[in-house]
Amino acid sequence: MQRLSSNTAFVAGILLLAGILAAALFADALAPHDPLLANPSVRHLRPFTPGHLLGTDELGRDIASRLLFGARLALLVAVVPTLIALAVGGLIGLAVGYAGGAWDSVVMRVFDVMFAFPGILLALGIGAALGPGLGSMIIAMVVVTIPAFGRVVRGSVLAAKEEQYVEAARALGYSHWRVAMVHILPNVLGPIVVYATLQTGRNVILAASLSFLGLGPQPPTPDWGQMLSTGRTALAIAAHVATIPGLAIMLLAIGFNLLGDGARDLLDPRMKRDQP
Rounded to whole angstroms, the Cα distance separating 92 from 149 reads 9
When asked if residue 186 is in the footprint of another protein (CB under 8 A), the reply is: yes
Window contacting another protein (CB under 8 A); options: 50-58, 60-68, 87-95, 252-260: 252-260
Q: Could you tell me what percentage of the chain is helix, strand and coil, using 3-state DSSP and rounding each to the nearest 5? A: 75, 0, 25
Nearest approach in angstroms of CB 157 to another protein is 15
Nearest approach in angstroms of CB 125 to another protein is 5
Query: What's at 96, amino acid-wise?
Result: V
Contact by Cβ (8 Å): 4, 263: no
Rounded to whole angstroms, the Cα distance separating 194 from 79 reads 14
Nearest approach in angstroms of CB 213 to another protein is 6
Number of residues that bind another protein (CB under 8 A): 67
> Residues 189 to 208: which contact another protein by CB under 8 A?
201, 204-205, 208
When asked if residue 113 is in the footprint of another protein (CB under 8 A), the reply is: yes
Give 56's strand partners. 62
Instruction: Give 144's Cβ-side CA count (13 Å radius).
Output: 23
- In 3D space, the residue among 160, 193, 182 whose CA is nearest the CA of residue 90 turns out to be 193
Window contacting another protein (CB under 8 A); options: 22-30, 80-88, 145-153, 242-250: 242-250
Window contacting another protein (CB under 8 A); options: 29-37, 68-76, 88-96, 163-171: 163-171
Complete DSSP assignment for 167-219: HHHHHTT--HHHIIIIIIHHHHHHHHHHHHHHHHHHHHHHHHHHHHTT-SSPT
Nearest approach in angstroms of CB 174 to another protein is 6
Candidates 28, 29, 270, 272; binder of another protein (CB under 8 A) is 272
When asked if residue 119 is in the footprint of another protein (CB under 8 A), the reply is: yes
Binding mask 30-69 for another protein (x = CB under 8 A): ----------------------------------------
Rounded to whole angstroms, the Cα distance separating 245 from 256 reads 17
Window contacting another protein (CB under 8 A); options: 28-36, 42-50, 146-154, 157-165: 157-165
Rounded to whole angstroms, the Cα distance separating 220 from 49 reads 23
Query: What's at 153, amino acid-wise?
Result: V
Neighbours of 229 (CB within 10 A): 19
Binding site for another protein (CB under 8 A): 1, 109-110, 112-114, 116-122, 124-126, 128-131, 163-165, 167-175, 178, 182-183, 186-187, 201, 204-205, 208-209, 212-215, 225, 228, 232, 235-236, 239, 242-243, 246, 249-251, 253-254, 257-258, 261, 272-274, 276
